[in-house]
Amino acid sequence: MPLLAAEGLTRRFGALVANDSVDLTVMPGEIHALLGENGAGKSTLVKMLYGLLQPDAGIIRWKGDAVTLPTPKAARGLGIGMVFQHFSLFDALTVAENVALALDDARPLRAVSDELADISRAYGLPLEPRREVWRLSVGARQRIEIVRCLMQNPDLLILDEPTSVLTPQESEGLFATLRTLRAEGRAVLYISHKLEEVRGLCEAATILRQGRVVDRCDPRQQTAGSLARMMVGAHIAEVRRARAEARIGPVRLRVDHLSVPSEDPQGTALKDVTLEVGTGEILGIAGVAGNGQDELFAALSGEVRAPEAGNIVLEGTPIGWNGINARRRAAAAFVPEERLGHAAAPRLPLSENALMAGHAKGGFTRRGLIDRGRMLGWVDAVTHAFDVRKGPRDPEARALSGGNLQKFVVGREILGKPRLLVVAQPTWGVDAGAASLIRQALIDLAARGASVLVISQDLDELFEIADRMAVIFHGRLSPAYPAEDLTREAVGLLMGGEGFGPGREAA
Amino acid sequence: MRLTLDRRDGAGMAGLFLSPLLAVALTLASSIVVFWLLGQDPWRALNVYFLMPVSDFWGVQEVAVKATPLVLIAVGLALCFRSNNWNIGAEGQFLIGAICGGGIAVWTQGWGGPWVLPLMLVAGMAGGALYALIPAVLKTRLRVNEILVSLMLVYVAELLLDWLVRGPWRDPFGFNMPQTITFAPEATLPLLFDGGRMNLGTVITLVVVVVATVVMARTLKGFEIKLVGEAPRAARFAGFDDKKLTLTVFAVSGALAGLAGVMEAAGTVRQLLPGFSPGYGFTAIIVAFLGRLNPVGCLIAGVFIAITFIGGENAQIILRLPRDMTLVFQGMLLFYILACDTLILYRPRLVPRRAPA
Ligand SMILES: Nc1ncnc2c1ncn2[C@@H]1O[C@H](COP(=O)(O)OP(=O)(O)OP(=O)(O)O)[C@@H](O)[C@H]1O
Ligand SMILES: [Mg+2]
């Protein structure tokens, strides 16, 4: 008997049918993948299974009985746990306090700490109960969320894009845990855009396209390519690179011995960072999250000023003291890592989100007044060029699925024809088709003579597009090496700090 | 059973207009019940409260006189609140505006000229703006809570006014009453019509409403205010400086409250005295929210609240109802608008305590 069976689940958002009569069956002891393009309706489906959204039609069966799930608490009561992509933890509290707060029954903190320690040992999820959350890495935070679910002893664990923020090593740790859970007869429902990962981990998959189930398969019998084809219903283009030597020209961006203390106490200070990006070149910066990437982005964008104007030189002009808009007027563009709240304002329509990044260069105002027509025109242009899927013409940013919003914020900057583009995690949470679209756009931008600096944790991505690569570790940057001279192992060693002597220049 | 609230989809625009209208209708309906309980004929009472004030031209002018400071202050507060800056001390800025402008009237008594009135208006705005900058500077420099500082400065302003009209500025021929001299004609705002009290201040306020509407809807400054309030980090990415903006919106709302103060002194009261303001600066907070933090909304809400003020005075005389009825109205109105907002944005649902397994 299936553990969970959804029959004909339907959910609408206004005129848009996010889930259209979806059937899903999860067996006990199974790791079941839920695949689909951005906006296919994966998050919507699992939110219904966890009691966060109410279906408009259809039934959910749990161990054979039809159930209603009015709240997440009801779902937890049955034995369903869920880990969201965006964590819900209190930074100032300790690990144990965070776990205790989320339990449905009140238990003394002592008992919670002990149980937490047991679970974290049993499932290989190392956690120190007394650490404050703000000191922890993203991976450790996710382990808290997982332990928190396991404390409720669930029969089904739902994970929504758990590995998009993890390092490869952290991902491996997570997979080991999930395999342990499977061995105990528990089921896992797993959403991911990383198809290789799904092939290695899952034994069943349900594939959604535009809210409908289009296929079911055993991913072990498939290739990443065939899975991607099922998702999009078409072949995904390979990213094509131009010959590097031919086009890379003189230096456009030079960062010269840049040291910046971090603004927040949890951050990493930049120490003596030096780099150069030539015209037509893509420089990749790899590194484990939290090693100064946020600080480097802020210093390059001008959200944080450099100590010396000459620390950052763009086309021969020192810009270290310029703000972000002065840099934009000098034909630079920026895509921050965090989409909602940083790159885009969640509750404002896309047109105003276009204005946000574009107002400095003018073009959206006429005689001092904002021109809505031009803003909408820009939204249409981005939508068309980057295949942004949305319901109405100008929805609020938060109504877009994660990947579609990412396509919008990347497209918004690239269409502005920048000569320098600084982009962090360009394909974070984006499906395979959209990821290749974005990567190709970056390559094409460089081929037209722009300089592109990509900060990414995804090594596959960097090897695919970067001409040269450097590694950031504890706020220091390694020299940049031509990508074809590097191996994955060499980069991995650098990411682990090999060759970064304490207090010395990077090797 | 337990009550939960689910967010409704796509109720944005409708709620914007529906909610205030519904709130007004519910307030009227409830007031019928209240009048009936008080042993009054509800229709007669409603008539006294809501129709009599606007039944003749003199009454309409009185409503305008009351609405003018409310609307002017509320428009400034709306800019502040939109950008997540909580100026609760408009009452103090209003009084300081009146003091700065009124001081010029007292000082130039007997030797002034046509330049006095413009100078008074400018002084009132400057005084209000500077007074509002105190909490703003403390917030941006030292991260002091602006709600507390702006609120406490209200009491400072009240006591300052009290001291001035009892001490240095007291009318020498005023039988020792705590008040200044009555302002000279060149220190007062011209009336718009004979036989009423509506003055130039109302026109100035309407101009401010129009300008504020255009600024909010069509300029980058308006967009900046909205963006800083909605998503501060995104505002920084857009290159907007939130600290500078805090100073700007506090200064603007202080200037508008100060302008309202000096216009009240120069146009309506024509002297300074202790209980000079019936709490306009606080009532304007209700007006700003009732008007959805939108300048035109503030205009409509200000007129409505002004009618209840005048209606309350009428009811005191004709029906012998206590003045507190007006406050009851305003309280009910605020309560209903919050309730309507919630119910339009969310769908309440009774859910069983345990899910059936
Ligand atoms: N609260 C909402 N209001 C309106 N539309 C919504 C809302 N939530 C989701 N949608 C729409 O429903 C569709 C499905 O979204 P969903 O978040 O389920 O996609 P997804 O498969 O999880 O995509 P991704 O991989 O990008 O996260 C999208 O078109 C999205 O725009
Ligand atoms: Mg999703």
CATH number of the domain bearing residue A275: 3.40.50.300
Q: Are residues B124 and B13 in the same domain?
A: no
The whole-angstrom distance between A335's CA and the closest CA on chain B is 10
Contact criterion met (CB < 8 Å) for B223 and A69: no
Q: Are residues B331 and B246 in the same domain?
A: no
CA A37 to ligand 1 center in whole angstroms? 11
Q: How confident is the model at residue B13 (pLDDT cuts 50, 70, 90)?
A: low
CA A43 to ligand 2 center in whole angstroms? 4
Q: Are residues A95 and A204 in the same domain?
A: yes
CA A381 to ligand 1 center in whole angstroms? 21
Beta-carbon count within 10 A of B48 CB? 22
Is residue B336 included in any domain, yes or no?
yes
Burial of residue B302, with CB atoms counted within 10 A of its CB: 0-12 exposed, 13-18 middle, 19 or more buried: buried
- Residue A216 is predicted with a pLDDT of 93
Answer with the one of A176, A206, A232 that is the final residue of a domain: A232
- For residue A60, give the DSSP letter: E
Contact criterion met (CB < 8 Å) for B238 and A357: yes
Q: Are residues B148 and B205 in the same domain?
A: yes
- Residue in chain B lying closest to A333 (CA): B237
Q: Are residues A150 and A172 in the same domain?
A: yes
Q: Are residues A219 and A270 in the same domain?
A: no
Q: Are residues A162 and A213 in the same domain?
A: yes
In angstroms, the first-to-last Cα distance of chain B is 16
Q: Is the dihedral of CA A39, A40, A46, A47 positive or negative?
A: positive
CA A403 to ligand 1 center in whole angstroms? 9
- Residue B117 is predicted with a pLDDT of 96
Is residue B255 included in any domain, yes or no?
yes
* pLDDT: which is higher, B352 or A402: A402
- Residue B355 is predicted with a pLDDT of 40
Q: Are residues B179 and B243 in the same domain?
A: yes
Q: CB-based contact (8 Å) between A373 and chain B?
A: no
Q: Are residues B292 and B195 in the same domain?
A: yes
ipTM of the complex: 0.82
Q: Are residues A115 and A200 in the same domain?
A: yes
* Model confidence at B9: pLDDT above 60: no
From the list A12, A77, A336, the residue facing B237 with the nearest CB is A336
DSSP notation for B47-72 = IIIIIGGGSSHHHHHHHHHHHHHHHH
Q: Are A231 and A35 in contact, with CB atoms under 8 Å apart?
A: yes
Is residue B71 included in any domain, yes or no?
yes
Q: Are residues B118 and B240 in the same domain?
A: yes
- Residues of chain A positioned with their CB less than 8 A from the CB of B235: 345
Number of domains in chain B: 2
Is residue A126 included in any domain, yes or no?
yes
Q: Are residues A169 and A260 in the same domain?
A: no
Q: CB-based contact (8 Å) between A266 and chain B?
A: no
Answer with the one of A232, A261, A296 that is the final residue of a domain: A232
Is residue B211 included in any domain, yes or no?
yes
The residues with which A157 forms a beta bridge, in sequence order, are A81, A188
The whole-angstrom distance between A314's CA and the closest CA on chain B is 18
Q: Distance between CA atoms of A34 and A31, rounded to whole angstroms?
A: 10
Q: Are residues A10 and A143 in the same domain?
A: yes
CA A193 to ligand 2 center in whole angstroms? 10
* pLDDT: which is higher, B259 or B143: B259
From the list A12, A356, A369, the residue facing B238 with the nearest CB is A356
Q: Are residues B233 and B353 in the same domain?
A: no
- Residues of chain B positioned with their CB less than 8 A from the CB of A325: 239
Q: Distance between CA atoms of A153 and A186, rounded to whole angstroms?
A: 9
For residue A19, give the ligand 1 atom closest to its CA. Answer: 14
Contact criterion met (CB < 8 Å) for B238 and A328: no
- Residues of chain B positioned with their CB less than 8 A from the CB of A327: none
Instruction: Answer whether A16 contacts ligand 1 (Cβ < 6 A).
Output: yes
pLDDT in tens, B227-253: 999 888 899 999 999 999 999 999 999
Please state the rounded mean pLDDT for residues B69-81. 97
For residue B173, what is the domain's CATH number? 1.10.3470
Contact criterion met (CB < 8 Å) for A370 and B218: yes
Q: Are residues A80 and A216 in the same domain?
A: yes
Is residue A398 included in any domain, yes or no?
no
According to DSSP, the β-strands at A468-473 and A476-477 are: antiparallel
Q: Are A496 and A314 in contact, with CB atoms under 8 Å apart?
A: no
Whose CA is closest to atom 12 on ligand 1? A18
Q: Are residues B281 and B339 in the same domain?
A: no
Residue B205 belongs to what domain range? 67-320
Contact criterion met (CB < 8 Å) for B218 and A13: no
Q: Distance between CA atoms of A406 and A432, rounded to whole angstroms?
A: 13
In angstroms, the first-to-last Cα distance of chain A is 59
Task: Give B325's contacts (C-beta < 8 A, 6+ positions apart).
Answer: B34, B312, B315
Q: Are residues B274 and B334 in the same domain?
A: no
- Residue A366 is predicted with a pLDDT of 85
The whole-angstrom distance between A197's CA and the closest CA on chain B is 33
Number of domains in chain A: 2
From the list A12, A67, A359, the residue facing B355 with the nearest CB is A67
Q: Are residues B221 and B96 in the same domain?
A: yes
Q: Is the dihedral of CA A305, A309, A312, A316 positive or negative?
A: positive
Please state the rounded mean pLDDT for residues B313-322. 86
Contact criterion met (CB < 8 Å) for B231 and A78: no
- Residue A505 is predicted with a pLDDT of 40
Is residue A72 included in any domain, yes or no?
yes
- Residue in chain A lying closest to B233 (CA): A342
pLDDT in tens, B26-58: 988 998 998 899 888 888 888 888 888 888 898
CA A441 to ligand 2 center in whole angstroms? 23
Instruction: Residue A298: name the closest of A344, A334, A347 by CA.
Output: A334
Is residue B51 included in any domain, yes or no?
no
- Residue in chain B lying closest to A326 (CA): B239
Q: Are residues B160 and B301 in the same domain?
A: yes
Q: Are residues A208 and A258 in the same domain?
A: no
Instruction: Answer whether A19 contacts ligand 1 (Cβ < 6 A).
Output: no
Tens-digit pLDDT string for chain A (507 aa):
899 999 999 999 877 899 999 999 999 999 999 998 888 899 999 999 999 999 999 999 999 999 999 988 899 999 999 988 767 788 778 888 888 888 877 788 888 888 888 888 888 888 888 888 877 777 788 888 888 888 888 999 999 888 776 767 778 888 999 999 999 999 999 998 888 889 999 999 999 998 999 999 999 998 888 888 888 776 666 677 665 556 788 999 999 999 999 877 667 899 999 999 999 999 999 987 778 999 999 999 999 999 999 999 999 999 999 999 999 999 999 999 888 889 999 989 999 999 999 998 888 988 889 999 999 999 999 999 998 988 889 999 988 888 899 999 999 999 999 999 999 999 887 888 888 889 999 999 999 999 999 999 888 889 999 999 999 998 999 999 999 898 888 887 888 777 775 544 433
From the list A14, A343, A368, the residue facing B237 with the nearest CB is A343
Distance of CA B15 to the CA centre of its chain: 23
Q: Are residues A207 and A274 in the same domain?
A: no
Q: Are residues A207 and A313 in the same domain?
A: no
* pLDDT: which is higher, B189 or A171: B189
The whole-angstrom distance between B267's CA and the closest CA on chain A is 34
Is residue A409 included in any domain, yes or no?
no
Q: Are residues B277 and B338 in the same domain?
A: no
- Residue A236 is predicted with a pLDDT of 63
Is residue B227 included in any domain, yes or no?
yes
Is residue A437 included in any domain, yes or no?
no
The whole-angstrom distance between B138's CA and the closest CA on chain A is 21
Residue type at A267? G
Q: CB-based contact (8 Å) between A226 and chain B?
A: no
Contact criterion met (CB < 8 Å) for B223 and A370: yes
Is residue B228 included in any domain, yes or no?
yes
Q: Distance between CA atoms of B71 and A62, rounded to whole angstroms?
A: 58
What is the Cβ-side half-sphere exposure of residue B234, based on CA atoms within 13 angstroms? 29
The whole-angstrom distance between B236's CA and the closest CA on chain A is 7
Q: Distance between CA atoms of A195 and A236, rounded to whole angstroms?
A: 13
A292 conformational bin, left if phi > 0, alpha if psi -120 to 50, beta if neither:
left
Secondary-structure percent of chain A, ordered helix, strand, coil, rounded to 5: 40, 25, 40
Residue A68 belongs to what domain range? 4-232
According to DSSP, the β-strands at A156-160 and A187-191 are: parallel
The long-range contacts involving A322-330, CB below 8 angstroms and separated by at least 24 positions, are: A323/B239, A324/A360, A324/B236, A324/B237, A324/B238, A324/B239, A325/A360, A325/B239, A326/A302, A326/A360, A327/A301, A327/A302, A328/A357, A328/A360, A328/A361, A328/B239, A329/A360, A329/A361
Whose atoms come closest to the Cα of A14: which ligand? 1
Coil, strand or helix at B181: coil
Q: Are residues A257 and A169 in the same domain?
A: no
The residues with which A282 forms a beta bridge, in sequence order, are A452
According to DSSP, the β-strands at A420-424 and A332-335 are: parallel
Answer with the one of A200, A232, A264 that is the final residue of a domain: A232
Q: What is the mean pLDDT of chain B?
A: 89
Is residue B62 included in any domain, yes or no?
no
According to DSSP, the β-strands at A468-473 and A481-482 are: antiparallel
Is residue A343 included in any domain, yes or no?
no
Is residue A479 included in any domain, yes or no?
yes
Task: Report the residue of B2, B214, B237, B349 to disrupt the A interface, i.e. the one with the largest count of A CBs within 10 Å.
Answer: B237
Q: Distance between CA atoms of B300 and B292, rounded to whole angstroms?
A: 10
